[in-house]
Amino acid sequence: MNGTANIALKQYLPTIPPVIKSKITLPSHLPLPLSLPLLPTLSSNSLHYESGSLGAVPNKNFALDGEDRAQDAMNYLINILSSRVYDVAIESPLQHASKLSQRLGNHLWLKREDLQSVFSFKLRGAYNMMSQLSIEQLKKGLICSSAGNHAQGVALSAKKLGCEVLVVMPTNTLEIKRKTVERLGAKIVLVGETFDEAQTYAMQRAKDEGRTFVPAFDHPDIIAGQGTVGMEILRQIKNPLHAIFVPVGGGGLIAGIASYVKRVKPEVKVIGVEPFDANGMALSLHHGRRIMLDKVGGFADGVAIKTIGEETFRICRELVDGVVLVSRDAICASIKDMFEEKRSILEPSGALAMAGAEAYCKYYGLKNENVVAITSGANMNFDRLRLVTQLANVGRQQEAILATYLPEKKGSLKQFCKLVGPLNMTKFRYRYNARKQEAVVLYGAAFHKVSEVEELLHKMKSYLFKTTNLTDNDLVKDHLQHLMGGYTSVENEIICRFSFPERPGVLMEFLDAFCPRWNISLFHYQGQGEAAASALIGLQVGSSERDDFKKSADSLGYHYAFETNNKALELLLS
């Protein structure tokens, strides 16, 4: 923490892990936290449909009567048309992606919100709201919570309006975003490890100090400011438009775009795009009410929101056409696509809509249509590019990760190499297992058509070389490819994958929670940029101690999952 404010975590954030609480000395006079909304808590895994298919289509038989609905629509149209966003924002260009369009057989247009001065669309909504505050409100100061992009928009807007602002950010916010906010003159407080924790603190502090809270998405003026993106798209595109693909976090951008587009050209589809592991909007639309995710994936940190907004949900339930879900690999592929198309590097959430548009076009066999994808942000941390480059070709379906088992006899490896000879090998790891009298080869194979992988699998089968396709197994890509072939028998071993927040002292916090009660038998740490790191950990936990272990893991507060029964463990580590 940077010491710019007094961080009262124990009072404001009751969910903070005990391991962290015990290391913070706090005054006792600070108020209790605001109550959290009573929403059903669901896992992202509870809703899963094929990538590219339009799911979570809302049931629109509800809510406002005709007169109220018309008035609501008129209010948003007027507010969008009269928005003052252009005091700080540019009308971002709508650019044709020629290479991607040729590959997809459709005309893909990119709405370049990554070209804004803060490299994100967020300044639109922030300034539209802040510019309407009274002089008295501005003098008392503002406060917001953000993982980065909204914070930059608020900081720039505060600088333009000449007022003081306090920005509350999660402790694992990317350094590039923190530094940018500081350069814009805002004061920063680091609280919690999620957006929701930071927001709880910021809202309470706003109440205590009389500051105006500037929400990231759930406010009519914020939504109207973001709606200018939709207004510009309809003004810029000259041909009939099939769909606009919008990245979804809290829902402010898609609610604003839908509020304009569906009133002006209702035939144009407005489609949300979310990661499989951060699908709060899809789940909310699916169940017809807002939900809270129990855990949210952090790779696309700009949309890593556990609970969408109340107003944004109301609008989306009425106006959007559904949500497309995409994988981490697909997002990485779209980051690479953008670099090859425009020589620009998007952040993961900034490439989300591109991934969704491509998946949708392929799934429905769409041809010769105009579709728009919003490239919403480019605040990429350089360290994360390592992971992106590892996964981009897998996400583009141009690389497969395979494991083949060879009988330990003369000539088997040579025969294997002949079979894979036509394909370019991107990685190759070989290890003999004396206990099983066979060797395992873990390799990456580049290909041009999916049928080439099927042909290779058929060839391997004909030579009795058992082969498993591990392309979709994240555990293999993140960890096991670096560990394969080391056999050891460990009594009572359980294997878990933990997401470690990137900050000093995390390893000791983990060890304090589990050691010396349980012996660590495996530890493999894989950095994934500044936001988080993945750690594969084995511990010796007796069957009678499993419940105690789970309680300790839950209280630690890190996201984790049991991997003991993952088939890839047996394939590659035994």
**Annotated active-site residue in 131, 376, 412, 499:** 376
Beta bridge partners of 128: none
* CA dist 41 → 46, 252, 296, 352, 499 (Å): 11, 21, 12, 24, 20
End-to-end Cα, the chain, rounded Å: 43
Share above pLDDT 70 across residues of the chain, in percent, rounded to a whole number? 90
Q: Which of 44, 111, 120, 122 is catalytic?
A: 122
Contact criterion met (CB below 8 Å) for 387 and 529: yes
pLDDT at 98: 97
pLDDT digits (tens, 9 = 90+) for 114-128: 999 999 999 999 999
Cα 383 off chain centre by:
16
Listed in sequence order, the residues at least 6 apart from 536 whose beta carbon sits closer than 8 Å to its beta carbon are: 475, 478, 479, 480, 483, 495, 496, 497, 522, 523, 524, 526, 563
Between CA 132 and CA 121 the distance in angstroms is 19
Angle, helices 328-342 vs 385-395, to 10°: value is: 100
Q: Which of 193, 101, 117, 104 is nearest to 155 (CA)?
A: 117
Tell whether the model's pLDDT for residue 178 goes beyond 70: yes
**pTM (two decimals):** 0.80
Which tokens is 31 given?
Answer: 């108020």
pLDDT in tens, 83-92: 999 999 999 9
For residue 483, the model assigns a pLDDT of 76
At 77, the amino acid letter reads L
CA pair distance 501, 444, nearest whole angstrom: 29
- Cβ contact 315:63 at 8 Å: no
* The most confident of 151-160, 401-410, 431-440, by mean pLDDT: 151-160
Q: How far apart are the C-alpha atoms of 457 and 454, rounded to whole Å?
A: 5
At residue 476 the predicted structure's pLDDT band, cuts being 50, 70 and 90, is: confident
Q: What is the DSSP string of 480-524?
A: IHHHTT-----TTEEEEEEEEESSTTHHHHHHHHHTTTSEEEEEE
Quick one: tokens of 257?
């775009």
d(CA 356, CA 272): 8
Scanning the structure block, which residue is given the tokens 């009660």?
517
Active site annotation includes 449: no
Q: Does position 8 have pLDDT exceeding 50, yes or no?
A: no
d(CA 237, CA 242): 11
- Say if residues 363 and 371 touch (Cβ distance below 8 Å): no
Lowest mean pLDDT among 107-111, 309-313, 434-438, 461-465: 434-438
Say yes or no to pLDDT of 250 above 80: yes
Question: Is the distance from CB of 120 to CB of 181 less than 8 angstroms?
Answer: no
- Is 44 part of the annotated catalytic residue set? no
Reported as a single tens digit per residue, the pLDDT across 179-195 is 889 999 999 999 987 77
Question: Which of the four pLDDT bands, split at 50, 70 and 90, describes residue 319?
Answer: very high
State the average pLDDT for the chain.
86
Rounded CA gap, 112 and 116, in Å?
Answer: 8
With cut-offs at 50, 70 and 90, classify the pLDDT of residue 16.
Answer: very low
Among the listed residues 559, 553, 557, the one whose alpha carbon sits nearest the alpha carbon of residue 533? 559
Residues 188, 3: Cα–Cα separation, whole Å? 9
Query: The dihedral of CA 563, 396, 95, 364: what is its sign?
Result: negative
Are the C-beta atoms of residues 538 and 493 closer than 8 Å to each other? yes
> How many Å apart are CA 453 and CA 424, to the nearest integer?
12
Residue with tokens 């070709």: 393
Q: How many CA atoms lie within 13 A of 294 on its CB side?
A: 11
Would you say residue 565 has pLDDT above 90? Answer: no
* pLDDT at site 19: 33
Distance CA 59, CA 4 (A): 47
Rounded CA-CA distance 393/568 in Å is: 21
Instruction: Determine the 3-state secondary structure of 244 from DSSP.
Output: strand
